[in-house]
Chain A
Amino acid sequence: AQSVAQPEDQVNVAEGNPLTVKCTYSVSGNPYLFWYVQYPNRGLQFLLKYITGDNLVKGSYGFEAEFNKSQTSFHLKKPSALVSDSALYFCAVRDIDNYGQNFVFGPGTRLSVLP
């Protein structure tokens, strides 16, 4: 069975500093990994994904994520945080064993960027 862990419930960072939101996964085959962001009372918005190829994936709003197969990690990063980045972030893996239908989400990490 696939699973996703986000070890930090909350991450605080000062505006202008680099940010990292951590994600580790467990999957039987090749992982398809995703990051989503959620603002209050909204649905999830897609940020980026890793399928294959370069381990460093670039996405929306200046975010990027680094895939590390040996550590089974897919950490989300941004070189310089903005106050507007404050939101709830979800890492997800797609369960390709179950006919490729299901997305398994982590519990979420709340990011607070302080001015």
Chain B
Amino acid sequence: ETGVTQTPRHLVMGMTNKKSLKCEQHLGHNAMYWYKQSAKKPLELMFVYSLEERVENNSVPSRFSPECPNSSHLFLHLHTLQPEDSALYLCASSQGGATGKLANTEAFFGQGTRLTVV
């Protein structure tokens, strides 16, 4: 256990469904991330939240909608996905500051949600 918990571990959804991925961290970190990992592709950073504010959105399609209600929880809301969105979605957390302090701390990852869009 790394202190970052993702649910569900596996999800199969149709292209017209709406679902949400959940991430919870128990490490007292102030930054949380969503990454997408596809077969034969490097890890793709999707969203970054710092102190509950979104600081990064890497041109992610609007069918992915993040939500960070507090520093311990992160959601990824999914709707009208495409089959190419099938991937392992990883949540991570770390310490990070607005001035770059604590940038020397590592990120802790959850186990991931294996998403299949049919």
Chain B residues with CB under 8 Å of A96's CB are 100, 103
Contacts A43-B112, A45-B2 given; does A107 touch B42 at CB 8 Å? yes
Contacts A100-B100, A100-B102 given; does A41 touch B107 at CB 8 Å? no
- CB within 8 Å of A: which residues of B? 2, 4, 6, 31, 33, 41-43, 45, 48, 50, 55-56, 88, 90, 92, 94, 96-104, 106-112, 114
Question: Which of B33, B56, B98, B103 counts the most chain A CB atoms within 10 A?
Answer: B103
Give the complex CA separation of A106 and B110 in angstroms: 19
A-side interface residues, number (CB < 8 Å):
26
> Would you give the shortest CB distance from B62 to chain A, in whole angstroms?
21
A79-115 contacts to B, CB under 8 A, are 90, 94, 96-108
A99 touching B112, Cβ below 8 Å: no
Give the complex CA separation of A11 and B45 in angstroms: 25
Chain A residues with CB under 8 Å of B88's CB are 41
B112 touching A94, Cβ below 8 Å: no
